[in-house]
Chain A
Amino acid sequence: MASRQRGATDPAGDREILSAGDVARTVARMAHQIIEKTALDAPSAPDVVLMGIPSRGAPLARRLAAKIAEFSGRTVLEGTLDITLYRDDLRRGPTRPLEATKLPEGGIDDKLVVLVDDVLFSGRTIRSALDALRDHGRPRAVQLAVLVDRGHRELPIRADYVGKNLPTSKTEDVVVMLEEFDGRDGVVLK
């Protein structure tokens, strides 16, 4: 939606926070930050594995991996980690369908794992992801990258890489749209 101004509110009361171009720039910036913080371009660089949390964390991890390869010349492995079986609220709603889990070749033992998700909110998803990782192996360290941090944490968890800090009220809804699922990129506050 090229005609829409960033920050403008449409008749339905939705406010666009990031346009498609902003999402691309944000992912590129996060890729640079990951390269810098993990010293990925140094000779003694660690093995970095990006693990996307379905659904929208998975394509974000793929995009970050591609950008990291482009900027640093280093290939980083990526995979997906479904956390549904580790949720603490399964008995508070209808049955949740499971999503894919796919570990990269070689697993996560002694790797620097960067968890990737679209929105960081209560922190409960990340708590579940840490539990899930523990069952898959023993990474040497775990970091967290999120496209949007909307606040309202319920657990002592923070992200290492944040695309956009977005102060929200608890009643608002942050919707991340990605080409792979929604036909276009963007972040909207409803």
Chain B
Amino acid sequence: MKHLLSTDGLDRDQAIAILDTADRLKQALLGREVRKLPTLRGRTVITMFYENSTRTRVSFEIAGKWMSADVINVSSSGSSVSKGESLRDTALTLQAAGADCVIVRHPASGAAHRLAGWLKHTNTSVVNAGDGMHEHPTQALLDAATLRDRLGSLDGRRVAIVGDVLHSRVARSNVHLLTTLGAEVTLVAPPTLLPTGVENWPVTVSHEIDSELASQDAVMLLRVQAERMTGGFFPSSREYSIAYGLNERRLKLLPEHAVVLHPGPMLRGMEIASVVADSPQAAITEQVRNGVHVRMAVLYHLLAHEEETA
């Protein structure tokens, strides 16, 4: 594998290979004094974040460092981007400076694909860490890893993705990956927060949360992305919370084994009630922990093999 740009292009074998590697890495690091593997010694990983992020950037940085790569963080403020340098020129500069892997987050959908195109004839790998409303593949992989931990296999499991599907790259990446891994996905959202063309996705769509909960093995809540909203998508946050928020009453409608996921950052009291976020069914901190192992696995699959310049 040279790049990780989307879960859409990931087949079942590749996805399972990455998840298995993540499991092994977790096992290899368990209870160790020295949480450092020499595997990527001498390789340079640059994170390029054009949007704010805590967990994804930190998670990639830790992943790279635990595998002994040199990790350099570039953000749009404080770099030449703020002087008007284009994404292409910044990427070519970082490549020329010796980056083996560029991890990019960008507000424009398709930015990572463009980047991979520009770096086509080089050895530099590109990882999409979230591009606009398009994809966020490592988030979907860490969600799948968390669900595998809790539920065993994903084959035949039912997962509901609830909330702002329209603006969510997490939802898109998860729909592809979960279906590839054999799960059945139900999207639950008001019609205003569903993308056009959703009827062609391999999912069931519902506008009503209560009736869906009893049959789910997992519920994934999405943050309402106010920063991407230009119009009125629902009357008020209070109304949204009443109609679609996962509160204590709804938690009881779920089967006992069901897992509650949230990609973060959470808006407690909005899409998820505080008690639910802190309940044993919530796997939100496990998601963050698995995120490091999954990203280590992605770096391993992209960088620890002979070079391919395709």
- The interface of chain A, by Cβ under 8 A from chain B, is 82, 85-86, 90-103, 107, 131, 134-137
**Are B31 and A95 in contact, with the CB atoms below 8 A?**
no
Report which of B17, B28, B32, B305 forms a contact with A82, defined as CB distance below 8 A.
Answer: B28
B228 proximal to A (CB < 8 A): no
A93: B residues at CB distance < 8 A: 305-306
Report which of A91, A103, A107 forms a contact with B306, defined as CB distance below 8 A.
Answer: A91
A102: B residues at CB distance < 8 A: 27
CB contacts under 8 Å to A, within B19-47, are 20-21, 24-25, 27-28, 31-34, 36-39
Classify the interface of chain A: helix, strand, loop or mixed: loop
**Are B24 and A101 in contact, with the CB atoms below 8 A?**
yes
B304 proximal to A (CB < 8 A): yes
Given A85-B37, A135-B33, 7 extra CB contacts under 8 A: A90-B304, A91-B307, A95-B1, A97-B17, A97-B20, A101-B24, A136-B32
B1: A residues at CB distance < 8 A: 95
Report which of A91, A94, A100, A134 forms a contact with B27, defined as CB distance below 8 A.
Answer: A100
Report which of B25, B38, B306 forms a contact with A131, defined as CB distance below 8 A.
Answer: B38
**Are B33 and A90 in contact, with the CB atoms below 8 A?**
no
B244 proximal to A (CB < 8 A): no
Nearest chain-B residue to A86 (Cβ)? B38
CA A137 to CA B30, docked complex, whole Å: 12
B301: A residues at CB distance < 8 A: 95
CB contacts under 8 Å to A, within B64-90, are 67
**Smallest CB separation, A109 vs chain B (Å):** 9
A94: B residues at CB distance < 8 A: 305-306
**Smallest CB separation, A89 vs chain B (Å):** 10
**Are B28 and A98 in contact, with the CB atoms below 8 A?**
yes
25 A-B pairs (CB sep. < 8 Å): A82-B28, A85-B25, A86-B38, A90-B39, A91-B305, A91-B306, A93-B306, A94-B305, A95-B1, A95-B17, A96-B304, A96-B305, A97-B17, A97-B21, A98-B28, A99-B24, A101-B27, A101-B28, A103-B31, A131-B38, A135-B32, A135-B33, A135-B37, A136-B32, A136-B34
CA A85 to CA B67, docked complex, whole Å: 9
- The interface of chain B, by Cβ under 8 A from chain A, is 1, 17, 20-21, 24-25, 27-28, 31-34, 36-39, 67, 300-301, 304-307
Are A95 and B27 also in contact (CB < 8 A) when A131-B38, A135-B32, A136-B32 are?
no
CA A95 to CA B305, docked complex, whole Å: 5
A107: B residues at CB distance < 8 A: 31
**Smallest CB separation, B174 vs chain A (Å):** 24
**Are B38 and A85 in contact, with the CB atoms below 8 A?**
yes
Report which of B33, B37, B300, B305 forms a contact with A137, defined as CB distance below 8 A.
Answer: B33
A134: B residues at CB distance < 8 A: 34
**Smallest CB separation, A34 vs chain B (Å):** 26
B305: A residues at CB distance < 8 A: 90-91, 93-96
CA A85 to CA B34, docked complex, whole Å: 14
Nearest chain-A residue to B300 (Cβ)? A95
Nearest chain-B residue to A92 (Cβ)? B306
**Are B304 and A95 in contact, with the CB atoms below 8 A?**
yes
**Smallest CB separation, B232 vs chain A (Å):** 48
Are A82 and B24 also in contact (CB < 8 A) when A90-B39, A90-B305, A91-B307 are?
yes
**Are A98 and B32 in contact, with the CB atoms below 8 A?**
no
Nearest chain-B residue to A131 (Cβ)? B38
**Are B306 and A135 in contact, with the CB atoms below 8 A?**
no
A136: B residues at CB distance < 8 A: 32-34
**Are B304 and A91 in contact, with the CB atoms below 8 A?**
yes
**Are B31 and A98 in contact, with the CB atoms below 8 A?**
no
A96: B residues at CB distance < 8 A: 304-305
**Smallest CB separation, A108 vs chain B (Å):** 11
**Are B39 and A85 in contact, with the CB atoms below 8 A?**
yes
**Smallest CB separation, A79 vs chain B (Å):** 11
**Smallest CB separation, A97 vs chain B (Å):** 7
**Smallest CB separation, A85 vs chain B (Å):** 5
**Smallest CB separation, B102 vs chain A (Å):** 19
**Smallest CB separation, B2 vs chain A (Å):** 11
CA A100 to CA B31, docked complex, whole Å: 15
B306: A residues at CB distance < 8 A: 91-94
**Are A98 and B39 in contact, with the CB atoms below 8 A?**
no
Nearest 10 Cβ contacts at the A-B interface: A98-B24, A135-B34, A90-B304, A95-B305, A101-B28, A85-B39, A85-B37, A94-B305, A98-B21, A95-B301
A91: B residues at CB distance < 8 A: 304-307
**Smallest CB separation, B184 vs chain A (Å):** 28
